[in-house]
Amino acid sequence: MSTTTGEKIGYVGRAMKRVEDPRLVKGIATYVDDLRLPGMLHAVFVRSPHAHARVKRIRTDAARAAGGVVGVFTGAEVNAQCGTIPCASSFPDLKSPKHTVLAGDRAYFVGHPVAVVVAATPYAAADAAELVDVDYEPLPVVTDPEKALEAGSPLTHPDLGTNAAFTWNLTGGDIDAAFAKADRVIRQRMYHQRLTPMPIEPRGCVASYQPGEGTLTLWTSTQIPHLIRTLLPGMIGIAENKLRVVAPEVGGGFGAKLNLYAEEALCSHLAMRLGAPVKWIEGRRENAAATIHGRDQVGDYEVAVSKDGRILGLRNRTIADLGSYLQLLTPAIPTLTGLVVTGAYKIPAVRMDVVGVYTNKMSTDAYRGAGRPEATYLIERLVDLVAAELGLDPVEVRRRNFPAPEEFPFNTATGLTFDSGNYEGALRKAQQLARWDELVARRTSRRRAGALFGIGVSTYVEICAMGPSKAMAAGGWEWGCVRIEISGKVTVITGVTPHGQGQETTFAQIVADRLGVPIEDIVVLHGDTSVAHYGRDTYGSRGTAVCGSAIVMCVDRILEKARRLAAALLDARPEQVEFADGAFAVKGSGGKRLGWTELAGEAYIAKNLPRGFEPGLEASAFFEPENFTFPFGTHICAVEVNRDTGDVTIVQYVAVDDCGNQINPLLVEGQVQGGIAHSIGQALFERTVYDEHGQLLTGEFMDYPMPRAEDIPDYVLGSTVTPSPVNPLGVKGVGEAGTIGATPAIANAVMDALRPLGVTHLDLPLAPEKLWRAIRQGHKE
Amino acid sequence: MGVPVRIHVNGALHQHDVEPRVLLVEYLRDVCGLTGTHVGCESSLCGACTVLIDGQAVKSCTIFAVQAEGRAVTTIEGLAQEGRLHPVQEAFWERHALQCGYCTPGMIMTAVQLLKDHPQPTRAEIAHGLKGNLCRCTGYTHIIDAVEHAAGSRQGAA
């Protein structure tokens, strides 16, 4: 595994267990549902059972009269006082419905909150919610995003006059010329199914108002406390500097908690209005219905190729099902798909047209990978289809279209600049780990024995470390602070908000090495806007690359200041002083060494400081990334499909991921394994299903089949290390790699297994019933 | 309308009057203040709420507190003894078997019973034994590693 080259082995590069774990394995961490405040009230939401309905009348008298009830509020009573839910991405012709915190005269999706009950206990609130009587008049429902664009379709939001939220296109190179000169054009329609993120901890929040100070504290299970602090004040009428947002221990996010939700805004408003803390904890069925979904794109994709398998151009029209409202990043997901649609390949011409469509469903937004899994899936499927059409080896087609290592930084036709890469190197290593020739021979022999055996490859690239501020709606910098305390202990404050990624450990590793202190002396704080003053939070595999870099800047500033202080105390010039093993000394003197305890004491007690020397040993920094990073890798999957049941068994799985330098290979491995598990779910089982009436059929774990321990194969994991040149750590990010790289490898393997039956493409998920039907059909033909 | 219940929780006797409909998990969290037991689904499907009742792993979101009358309940907080982590807790830490930590208490309690019933399980037996517990972060591999590690360290200690 990698270490920072040229330096002695420190903490960085070591597979270390995490410093955050003891509280978690003991069950003494504090998640939002564990908070109990004096006088705390409990909110329960009344939600629409209809996908589209007129809300004719809401009778709340019985609920208000129920025991323990403090208040019942409908849209008419709160929407005027609470602003609308924000969407951070906008483009010129974006049509946006007014997204109030509670439904107004219409409910637009199953789970749409129409009223909220606040009571002394959660039981009393739930009982009273049952007594809220809503008269609904069901209205025509829009569920199919393609039919939604046809003339005469019912409208999700009649006041917008159309179901099309936006059209967006991307062009690069001469797409018409590419298709004109192509030897072959391969076409495939693909549907990338809707998915539900399903963190095991649902959402929840506690809002508490301190009337004396006029301050509001919102504890919420979120990935983005800082963005909430930016966005919420205007909604509920409080100054930004009177709002404190805390993400306590957060039980998984995966993008589902990368949002400002109606419930958070409304509980905040009610805490101020009622003068008491208000708590809301989401149930699982609410989570499935009213927390964002992901993916859900359908398109017709065309590639122009030369007969030797070089891809000349890619064009497509994608329809993205946005659901009924724009949440924080809803429109930005399919457009991100467009930016990375050319994958790891030199494709000189591209055209992508995206239509975002409103339907009577929950909003889609960023689910782990967020736009990139869609792109990777479609390009990796297309490459396999190209290979099949031309009778070429799919690995060879990939190889022929890679940019060579010396072509980096590599400019794509979509306008991105890939920072660094060696795609061939990762592919070669993965093939070695998979014992490629043996694997291919095994396929031959298994097929000869009548088995449906397939091999799938995915050579992905992703876009991470989000990102340069010019490309990010709310800024893409990150903030950090490092403080040598008066005792010599070190406090690190980060503007990102880890919720499982382990940056209490990785940031401590980085700082411990650079300051030469034991890791036990370091505490990493995060997730509280009153402690971490600035931040852009955790998403897009950005934490270590962007905030780790801010922390490096802080350490450099402290070292510079400490060197000046040490020089003064040692009667030397700064350039005569060297720093090693956590102490400063005059070079070659073998004399007195000043460690952090001595220097911190001097810096804060401030009796012996040189004239004009600012007391204290603390630095904060904003890091502005000059570019995104582009992690990449190769996943190889071999499957056997049961001819009688359609069950898929993954018989071999190899992943080689290159996320640049690795701070902690154990945590990298955990991120990769976790990501692949999401892909296994997506490729083989998971699909969020609404029926034609807009009823959600996958409303809980019973109906939404996430992978369990028995569904996970043994992995062979490896890595290559191509440092990123765009940050001082050379890291690229790894939180989403598995979810982006693995799905197409699995899908390609299953399709390869069915190839002898003449099956060329099936949409995800490749669930047993679908495969069983395809196998039966294949046998008939 | 409270019903008196007496439940031994982590070795201490708790006596309260509770509503009959109060779930055991809510009793543990809200009445006993033991919030290490988590709720992920309220329907027995995720296992985050798993505790031991008389040594058997039980999903505490689908049993009423009154049903635990007279029984001995062990929660995640009761697993470490005299400040020393239980070998399964130690193994989860050692093998990076947790990320967000939300499923972890239930996963650990299930693993404790699994190892009690099968002291030397195969990886397949571990995976089978954990099928009632969902984890969305780790992808399970490190969890299986940890349970295997705990089995090994117990054997080494024996």
Residues B101 and B57 in one domain: no
Q: How far apart are CA B24 and CA B65, in angstroms?
A: 4
In a domain, B82, yes or no: no
Packing angle between helix B141-157 and helix A665-680, nearest 10 degrees? 120
Which domains are delineated in chain A?
Answer: 32-139+202-250+257-290 (3.90.1170.50), 294-467+627-780 (3.30.365.10), 477-623 (3.30.365.10)
Please tell me whether the peptide bond between A409 and the residue prior to it is cis, using omega within 30 degrees of 0.
yes
Number of other CB atoms surrounding residue A231 within 10 Å:
21
Task: Give residue B157's pLDDT.
Answer: 46
Q: How far apart are CA A119 and CA A126, in angstroms?
A: 9
Q: How many CB pairs under 8 A join A and B?
A: 177
Residues of B with Cβ-Cβ distance to A708 under 8 angstroms: 130-131, 133-134, 140
Check if the beta carbon of residue A197 is closer than 8 Å to that of residue A210. Answer: no
Residues B103 and B144 in one domain: yes
Query: Which residues does residue A461 pair with via DSSP β-bridges, in sequence order?
Result: A632
- Asked whether the predicted pLDDT for residue A7 surpasses 70, the reply is no
Q: Do B41 and A706 touch (CB under 8 A)?
A: no
Number of other CB atoms surrounding residue A718 within 10 Å:
19
The fraction of chain B above a pLDDT of 70, given in percent, is: 96
Q: Do B93 and A21 touch (CB under 8 A)?
A: yes
Domain boundary among B23, B52, B77: B77
Average pLDDT, chain A: 96
Residues of B with Cβ-Cβ distance to A29 under 8 angstroms: 36, 101
Domain boundary among B22, B42, B77: B77
The one-letter amino acid code at A563 reads R
The answer to whether B2 faces chain A, any CB pair under 8 Å, is no
Q: How far apart are CA A167 and CA A175, in angstroms?
A: 19
In a domain, B72, yes or no: yes
Residues B52 and B94 in one domain: no
The answer to whether A498 faces chain B, any CB pair under 8 Å, is no
Exposure string for B107-132, b = 16+ CB within 10 A, e = fewer: bbbbbbbbbeeeeebeeeebbbbbeb
Instruction: Tell me the pLDDT tens digit for each residue of A463-503.
Output: 999 989 999 988 999 999 999 999 999 999 999 999 999 99
Instruction: Tell me the pLDDT tens digit for each residue of A205-238.
Output: 999 999 999 999 999 999 999 999 999 999 999 9
Number of domains in chain B: 2
Residues of A with Cβ-Cβ distance to B89 under 8 angstroms: 25-26
Nearest CA of chain B to the CA of A596: how many Å?
A: 30
If pLDDT is split at 50, 70 and 90, which confidence band does A244 have?
very high
Tell me which residue of A460, A314, A299 sits closest to A386, measured CA to CA. Answer: A314
Tell me which residue of A330, A352, A338, A259 sits closest to A96, measured CA to CA. Answer: A330
Residues B55 and B104 in one domain: no
Copy the structure tokens of residue A700: 């809980």
If pLDDT is split at 50, 70 and 90, which confidence band does A8 have?
low
Residues B93 and B72 in one domain: no
The fraction of chain A above a pLDDT of 90, given in percent, is: 96
Q: How far apart are CA A698 and CA A705, in angstroms?
A: 9
Instruction: Tell me the pLDDT tens digit for each residue of A385-413.
Output: 999 999 999 999 999 999 999 999 999 99
Q: How far apart are CA A624 and CA A44, in angstroms?
A: 41
Instruction: Tell me the pLDDT tens digit for each residue of A495-543.
Output: 999 999 999 999 999 999 999 999 999 999 999 999 998 999 999 999 9
Q: Can you tell me the ipTM of this complex? A: 0.97
Domain boundary among B30, B50, B77: B77
Domain that holds residue B72: 3-77
The answer to whether B125 faces chain A, any CB pair under 8 Å, is no
Q: How far apart are CA A38 and CA A276, in angstroms?
A: 9
Residues B73 and B134 in one domain: no
Q: Which of residues 74-103 of B touch A (CB under 8 A)?
A: 75-77, 79-80, 85, 89, 92-94, 96, 98-103
Q: For A154-162, what is the mean pLDDT?
A: 96
Question: Which H/E stretch holds residue A113?
Answer: strand A113-119
pTM > 0.90: yes or no: yes
- CATH code at position B27: 3.10.20.30
Q: A330 in helix, strand or coil?
A: coil
